[in-house]
Amino acid sequence: MTPPVPPASPPPPIPPAPAPHPRTGAAAGIAAARRHRRYTPMPPREVFVRHVVRNAVIGGSMIFAALMIGVVGYHFTAGLGWLDSLVNASMILGGMGPVNPIVSRSGKWFESFYALFSGVVFISSVGVALGPAIKRFLHRFHLDIEADE
Is pLDDT of 27 > 70? no
Residue 12 pLDDT greater than 60, yes or no: yes
| Helices vs strands, H then E, count in the chain | 4, 0
DSSP reduced 3-state for 52: helix
Q: What is the pTM of this model?
A: 0.66
pLDDT at 53: 95
pLDDT above 90 as % of the chain: 51
Torsion of Cα atoms, 101 then 104 then 110 then 111, to 10°: 10
Contacts of 83 (CB under 8 A, 6+ apart): none
**pLDDT of 121 above 90:** yes
Summary mean pLDDT of the chain: 83
Higher model confidence: residue 141 or residue 129?
129
What pLDDT, on a 0 to 100 scale, did the predictor assign at position 35? 54
